[in-house]
Amino acid sequence: MQSASTRAAGARIEFYRKTGKLHPRTVTGRYNSLRWAMVWLTQLVFYGTGWLRWDGRQAVLFDIAERKFYLFGLVLWPQDALLLAVLLIASASALFFATALAGRVFCGFACPQTVYTAIFRWVEAKVEGDHLARLRLDQAPASARKLALKAAKHVLWLAIALWTGLTFVGYFSPIGDLLPRLLATELGPWEGFWVYGYAAFTYLQAGFAREMVCLHMCPYARFQGVMVDAETHNVAYDSARGEPRGTLGRKQAASLKRAANGTAAAATAGAAQGDCVDCGLCVQVCPSGIDIRAGLQYGCINCGLCIDACDEVMGRIGAPTGLIRFAAERTLAAAAKAPAPRPALRRPRVQAYLALMAIFTAAGAGLLATRTPLAVDVLRDRQALSRLTTDGRIENDYTLKVANMLEQPRRFRLRVDGPAGVHLTGADSFDVPAGSVRPLPVTLSSAADPEVRGAHPIRLIVEALDGAPARAVEQTAFILP
């Protein structure tokens, strides 16, 4: 709340601190390599999977019009919504488990925002040069060269974004047709909306919003705090070792190099200051613009690039690496006599997420193993609950909807399980084409008996007559007036 004096002075409170455009410095090291390995892996899966074929059709396709989800040899129907829900919960538990172990490590290595920002920044560096060249170009007055470089970068960004939009929609509409129809401007309205919309989203998020998404827009950044604790391994600066920070004098640097002579231990010997030489490289390489030396911050995506930068500096001055490292808060506070962190699997939080993950993965596997590729729905004729025939019998009409969830046509048999005398009129076996729902009119008949009236529960049993066993049972009623 503003104090009276502040209000009187008409001071403005800034809720959003402008940082300007970030041009992180390129860094090499194990975390950068791991990061790029994840970029390759995720993009090979994302761009490649849509083009895989299986049994003459697209291997992975969410066919919204047909309400089917093709996943290689598996075809999921709306009836399998529970299986999808269970698998989603298992995936969420895996994310929570990873967060409890290593904070926002998903954000740093696999989140699409991080991955596309890395790709767009790579393109930017290829076109405009390293971080200093990019800074100079941004500050330079308008010129033909600046215009050409910026135009080339944006054309490449737009091409990647459009291909991303096309690939995304290719998981919902056969991807083989999409490209020719895009080129012929023949996309349907919803396809056009999503291809161009997703492309625009990618272009804006990865080209312009970048780290602002992680800092100000991502809801996961806000609630991850409930999943981490003092034993979670986050990227952290070892202030006990690094402080007081200060630049190395030339003489001290030379003496340290001689003393170290390839060994790490002598690095800090005789030095009055901590190991941090205040070079600022850890800040320059950070894609979020964070100074990790100020402590753990929610905007840190645990990408580890500052570790690579600092390890390189430590190597150059002959000091041990790991001044910045993945470490638990408790480990770093050991000097303050905090209890040492427990092994990960002995932490209740980690055990809980692991148990959730195991339970829901097992439930998903169980649902998949016991899944019947047959679904039956029964509808009673609402116009006439029962009918008296000319030969004195009572008939009830139903419509069975029989879904054959396999990709081959199948033959089924229908049986009735109910009061004695209730039987099926007409043929008891029928065919259902591959992957389709067949509406089947069914009439049940019983002798009229003035002593027996009301609704009598019956079961309609549908069984496969060929291929793998499949059976579905539906409850309904036979009405005697």
Residues of this chain that interact with ligand SF4 (CB under 6 A) are: 235, 237, 242, 276-282, 285-288, 290, 292-293, 300-306, 309-310, 313, 323-324
Say if residue 70 is exposed, middle or buried (CB neighbours under 10 Å; 0-12, 13-18, 19+). Answer: buried
Residue 259 CB, nearest approach to ligand SF4 (Å): 18
Residue 379: alpha-carbon gap to chain centroid: 39
Which CB atom, from 264 or from 279, has the smaller least distance to ligand SF4?
A: 279
Interior/surface letters 231-252, b for 16+ CB within 10 angstroms, e for the rest: bbbbbbbbbebbeebeebeeeb
Question: How many Å apart are CA 327 and CA 99, to the nearest integer?
Answer: 14
Of the candidates 295, 282, 321, which has an alpha carbon nearest to the alpha carbon of residue 27?
Answer: 282
Left (φ > 0), alpha (ψ -120 to 50) or beta: where does 278 sit?
Answer: left
Which CB atom, from 236 or from 344, has the smaller least distance to ligand SF4?
A: 236
Question: How many Å apart are CA 106 and CA 110, to the nearest integer?
Answer: 5
Residue 100 CB, nearest approach to ligand SF4 (Å): 18
Which CB atom, from 256 or from 309, has the smaller least distance to ligand SF4?
A: 309
Residue 322 CB, nearest approach to ligand SF4 (Å): 10
Question: How many Å apart are CA 315 and CA 192, to the nearest integer?
Answer: 53
Which CB atom, from 124 or from 211, has the smaller least distance to ligand SF4?
A: 211
Q: How many CB atoms sit inside 10 A of residue 30's CB?
A: 11
Residue 245 CB, nearest approach to ligand SF4 (Å): 6
Phi, psi of 226 (to 5 degrees): -75, -15
Of the candidates 233, 222, 230, which has an alpha carbon nearest to the alpha carbon of residue 299?
Answer: 222
Residue 33 CB, nearest approach to ligand SF4 (Å): 15
Give the three-class secondary structure for 365.
helix
Residue 328 CB, nearest approach to ligand SF4 (Å): 15
DSSP lists the bridge partners of residue 60 as 71
Which CB atom, from 84 or from 209, has the smaller least distance to ligand SF4?
A: 209
Q: Give the residue carrying structure tokens 């990019």.
A: 134
Which CB atom, from 239 or from 372, has the smaller least distance to ligand SF4?
A: 239
- Cβ(413)–Cβ(431) below 8 Å: no
Of the candidates 403, 385, 405, 404, which has an alpha carbon nearest to the alpha carbon of residue 395?
Answer: 385
Residue 318 CB, nearest approach to ligand SF4 (Å): 13
Residue 242 CB, nearest approach to ligand SF4 (Å): 6
* CA-to-CA separations, 195 to 39, 231, 444, in angstroms, rounded: 22, 43, 51
* CA-to-CA separations, 379 to 77, 128, 353, 475, in angstroms, rounded: 20, 66, 43, 10
Residue 25 CB, nearest approach to ligand SF4 (Å): 11
Residue 164 CB, nearest approach to ligand SF4 (Å): 23
User: For the residues of 80-131, what is the DSSP string, one character each?
Assistant: GHHHHHHHHHHHHHHHHHHHHHHSTHHHHHT-HHHHHHHHHHHHHHHHH-SH
Residue 101 CB, nearest approach to ligand SF4 (Å): 15
Which CB atom, from 69 or from 237, has the smaller least distance to ligand SF4?
A: 237
Which CB atom, from 287 or from 364, has the smaller least distance to ligand SF4?
A: 287
Which CB atom, from 237 or from 430, has the smaller least distance to ligand SF4?
A: 237
Question: How many Å apart are CA 84 and CA 276, to the nearest integer?
Answer: 50
Which CB atom, from 86 or from 277, has the smaller least distance to ligand SF4?
A: 277
DSSP lists the bridge partners of residue 380 as 398
Which CB atom, from 315 or from 426, has the smaller least distance to ligand SF4?
A: 315
